[in-house]
Amino acid sequence: MLCGAVAAPARITVNRSVDGVGLGMTAKEVRARLGKPSLDAVGEGARNYVYRRRALVVSLVGSRVVIVSTRNARQRTAGGIGVGSTDADVRRRVRGARCGATADVQFCRVGSIRPGRRSTTFQIQQGRVVTVTVARGLG
């Protein structure tokens, strides 16, 4: 008989999804997956669904998901990286991660923020990931 811990499924899929919400999903699909958001706000050309209990924000443009962002430490990549991970862990365990800073904001990113491209950004403060954002560049 085999015994051992079973790894929890990855909830962050780099350049694709967070908590089952994928880039390109419709508003109807998001609501079917996560239910009614805590806040549904429209502004600056986007609709934002805020799920406070999940620490998740879903941004839609033209009824399609273009950004999914989380501050939930339970959301992890298949390699175990997420909010609370160190920047060294991201560099070591996220394939293709490039790290740097813009306007004094530290981050590591996989993919490209150019229009039509996908990216995953790990925002870092004091050496630890504070937000993970999966996005499709607009343009």
Distance CA 40, CA 74 (A): 23
Distance CA 100, CA 31 (A): 35
Q: Which CA distances in Å does 18 have to 26, 101, 116? A: 15, 23, 19
| 4 has pLDDT over 80 | no
Over residues 85-106, the mean pLDDT reads 94
pLDDT tens string 100-134: 998 889 999 999 999 999 999 999 999 999 999 99
pLDDT tens string 16-74: 999 999 999 999 999 999 999 999 999 888 999 999 999 999 999 998 999 999 999 99
**What is the model's pLDDT at position 9?**
60
Cβ–Cβ < 8 Å for 112, 119 = yes
Distance CA 116, CA 138 (A): 6
